[in-house]
A = this chain, B = another copy of it.
Amino acid sequence: MACVSIPSTLDTDYSRLADIVELQDVDAYVHVGNGTDDMLRYLTRIDTEDNLAAFVLTADNSTVCLRPRYRSEAERKFPGDNIVETESGRGITDAISDVLEPDSVVRISHTTPVGVVRDLESFGSVDVVPEPDTVWCQKSDAEQQIAAHMADGVQRGIARAETVLAEAIVDDGAVRWQGEPLTTERLRREIQKELADLGFRGMGNVVIGAGDSCAELHFTGDVPIYAGETVLIDLGPRGPFGYFGDISRTFVPGEIGKWEREAFEVVREALDSAFDVLSDGAGLGTDELYLSMAEVIESYGFETGLHESRDDAVGLYHGTGHGIGVRIHEKPFQSRDTDAELQAGNVITIEPGLYDPERGGVRLEDVVVVEDNGYRNLMQYPYGLNPVNRNVTEVLNDD
């Protein structure tokens, strides 16, 4: 069990949503999706799996419409006012129509399935607006507690991976663990077992690159791990109320070559540079935060930009971080072209990286909470290429 306790229910601030969707101009905001719709998850705190459900916010109250089988869960978890059951053979829009006055004017997110919008149009006026995806960016204390719980868990996942790599035996270029060749898939299973043991239900994609596949950024295939290669591990499991964790560390089993060591030092310096500007806290521009890292990378002669996996690029070709909550990648995003300012309560990743498609890649990633006059790093996990069998409890208690 991860050591950070978590709340059993979670509030959602609907007044913030009402402001963002300008509810005063219309009769209701309606959000429709299934359990894979992150915004619906945030608004209702319920996971309706593959079943459509709806959230309806009016000036007077908030309602969730869902299948009867989720009523008990909704009674335990829905932070709003009313629960309406959809009935067999009725569409979700019939349940919504029970909540709205006739001829209502509703706002709805552009993410809504077009079929649902057309059904709603048959009994009201529908105004399609951008998804209100700034509603969740400033995390409450309870949400920050969950973020800390997730940080605790992903660090234990990395610790398990580092232990396996530390125990592995390097033999003439091959890497063997418990008598068999170590592959990215074997390492992934060890991490997933650790995450399962901690109670995580969604493993997300356990990204593990080895050597050149590190440059694919989100490689989830199965390849052998060789000595001297970078092994890039990026975990993004999903935990309580659907909140994600995120962490990246990079290790090299066996002897560490010149390119790998230099790449690591550059990324490490970029990370320090980010922490340096983050000490200003709220108000920092997302472009400034990006540049604090990109300029370090560039200063060593590497390219930066947003090419993603261009075969001919050696450098940093992704953004340097993003907000994280019930959506794994949410605002604020960090890149040269963003112009947002960090706000107190943002929970964001800081993840500079450096890749050479012919050699490998290094990425280091922590999650921090932005504060008025600084930041709080939710991670205590050391950075280091050389894998060490650590006492993770000591690591996590070392403030």
Interface-lining segment among A66-74, A282-290, A360-368:
A66-74
| A89 and B337 contact, CB distance less than 8 A | yes
Which chain A residues in 47-74 approach chain B with CB under 8 Å? Answer: 47, 49-50, 67-73
**Which segment, of A11-19, A139-147, A193-201, A391-399, faces chain B?**
A193-201
Chain B CB count within 10 A is highest, among A192, A219, A309, for A192
A390 CB-CB contact with B under 8 Å? no
A219 to B75 CA separation, bound complex (whole angstroms): 13
Given A201-B192, A205-B201, decide whether A216 and B110 contact each other with a Cβ distance below 8 A: no
With an 8 A cutoff between CB atoms, is A267 at the interface?
no
Measured between beta carbons, the chain B residues less than 8 angstroms from A329 are 50
A376 within 8 Å of B by Cβ? no
Contacts of A189 in B (CB 8 A): 196-197, 199
Stretch of A93-101, A113-121, A294-302 with 4 or more beta carbons under 8 angstroms from chain B: A113-121
* Residue in B111, B218, B306 whose CB lies within 8 Å of A49: B218
The 18 sampled A-B contact pairs (Cβ below 8 Å) are: A49-B205, A50-B327, A50-B328, A67-B308, A68-B308, A69-B216, A69-B309, A88-B306, A108-B114, A110-B115, A113-B113, A114-B128, A185-B199, A189-B196, A193-B196, A193-B197, A201-B220, A203-B203
Give A203-258 interface residues, CB cut-off 8 Å to B.
Answer: 203, 205-206, 216-221
Which B residues are CB-close (under 8 A) to A261? none
Give chain B residues whose Cβ lies under 8 Å from the Cβ of A117: 114
Tell me if A128 and B115 are in contact (CB < 8 A).
yes
Using a CB–CB cutoff of 8 Å, the interface residues on chain A facing chain B are 36, 47, 49-50, 67-73, 76, 88-89, 108, 110-115, 117-118, 128, 130, 185, 188-189, 192-193, 195-197, 199, 201-203, 205-206, 216-221, 306-310, 318, 327-329, 337
For A309, give its contact among B71, B216, B308 (CB under 8 Å): B71
- CB-CB nearest in chain B for A236: B49
Q: How far is the CB of A356 from chain B (nearest CB, A)?
A: 15
> Which partner residue on chain B sits nearest A308 by CB separation?
B68
Chain B residue, CB-CB nearest to A111:
B113
For A206, give the chain B residue with the smallest CB separation. B201
**Contact present for B216 and A72 (CB under 8 Å):** yes
**Does A202 contact B199, Cβ atoms closer than 8 Å?**
no
Minimum distance in angstroms from A200 CB to a CB of chain B: 8
- Tell me, rounded to whole Å, the shortest Cβ–Cβ distance linking A203 to chain B: 6
* Chain B residues, CB < 8 A from A71: 309
Distance between A39 CB and nearest chain B CB, rounded to angstroms:
12
By a CB distance below 8 angstroms, the chain B residues around A337 are: 89
Given contacts A67-B308, A73-B220, A88-B308, 8 further A-B contacts (CB under 8 A): A68-B308, A69-B216, A73-B216, A73-B221, A108-B114, A110-B114, A111-B114, A202-B203
